[in-house]
């Protein structure tokens, strides 16, 4: 319950922190709190859609289907496709893509109380955090702000993009796990939903994505 307590505390202070919301959704799913996990993934999808994070929205849509709420997942996928496909009135090429600040560089906000809370109190805090996220995302959605043009997605018609979303597989990678190695046969395209990748060749570090 400690992880749930920590991410809920962070969301109470920063309800639009998509990284923390993803962590909360995954932790709830792992703890088999399916109802709360579904709620968190749904809010994550709205937050991602309204903040220009298409890949994170796709992760939320596919995760909703994995949690047994296929209809909600498909509805989110359709909204993402309509919002980010070719001809979408919400796309503005002048709006830049601004990925979230990497977790290690975020300023800590709020502190958890000393001592470990009981499971009931932790879940009560989770409920409060999700209510605050709901309030923030509802406000964002009502404004229908312009969205950035996402490479590749912006060239596809909405039905094609929606079909592509339905085919995407969500994978979680551990720290320092190799995603693609030199010489690997190219069989897939990767969209990073959260986190960053280190690019290296041998012992030489070339940069981060």
Residues constituting the chain: 209
pLDDT above 50 for 201: yes
Q: DSSP 3-state assignment of 199?
A: strand
Q: Which of 22, 12, 44, 14 is nearest to 122 (CA)?
A: 12
User: How far apart are alpha carbons 209 and 180 in whole angstroms?
Assistant: 13
pLDDT tens for 10-59 read 999 999 999 999 999 999 999 999 999 999 999 999 999 999 999 999 99
> pTM value?
0.85
For residue 91 the two structure tokens come to 């796309």
Beta strands 198-201; 204-208: pairing state: antiparallel
pLDDT tens for 128-138 read 999 999 999 99
pLDDT above 60 for 110: no
More confident residue, 6 or 112: 6
- Predicted pLDDT of residue 106: 47
pLDDT above 50 for 111: no
pLDDT tens for 136-160 read 999 999 998 999 999 999 999 999 9
Least trusted range by pLDDT, from 36-50, 54-68, 160-174, 188-202:
188-202
User: How far apart are alpha carbons 86 and 34 in whole angstroms?
Assistant: 35
Least trusted range by pLDDT, from 59-68, 87-96, 111-120, 178-187:
111-120
pLDDT above 60 for 102: no
User: How far apart are alpha carbons 160 and 135 in whole angstroms?
Assistant: 32
More confident residue, 104 or 175: 175
For residue 11 the two structure tokens come to 């969301």
Q: DSSP 3-state assignment of 200?
A: strand
Q: Are 170 and 67 in contact (CB under 8 A)?
A: no
- Predicted pLDDT of residue 114: 53
81 exposed, middle or buried (CB, 10 Å; 0-12, 13-18, 19+)? buried
DSSP state of 192: -
Percent of the chain residues past pLDDT 70, beyond the cut: 90
- Predicted pLDDT of residue 84: 97
């Amino acid at each position: 319950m400690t992880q749930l307590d920590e991410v809920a505390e962070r969301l109470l202070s920063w309800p639009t922190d998509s990284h923390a919301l993803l962590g909360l959704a995954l932790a709830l799913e792992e703890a088999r709190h399916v109802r709360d996990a579904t709620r968190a993934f749904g809010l994550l999808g709205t937050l991602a859609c309204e903040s220009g994070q298409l890949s994170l929205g796709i992760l939320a849509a596919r995760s909703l289907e994995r949690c047994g709420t296929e209809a909600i997942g498909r509805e989110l996928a359709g909204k993402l496709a309509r919002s980010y496909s070719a001809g979408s009135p919400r796309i503005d090429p002048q709006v830049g893509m601004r990925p979230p600040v990497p977790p290690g560089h975020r300023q800590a906000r709020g502190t958890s109380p000393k001592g470990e809370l009981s499971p009931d109190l932790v879940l009560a805090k989770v409920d409060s955090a999700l209510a605050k996220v709901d309030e923030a995302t509802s406000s964002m959605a009502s404004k229908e702000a312009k969205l950035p043009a996402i490479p590749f997605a912006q060239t596809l018609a909405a039905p094609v993009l929606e079909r592509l979303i339905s085919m995407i597989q969500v994978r979680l990678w551990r720290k320092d796990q190799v995603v693609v190695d030199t010489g690997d046969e190219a069989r897939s395209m990767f969209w990073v939903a959260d986190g960053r990748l280190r690019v290296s060749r041998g012992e030489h570090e070339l940069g981060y994505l």
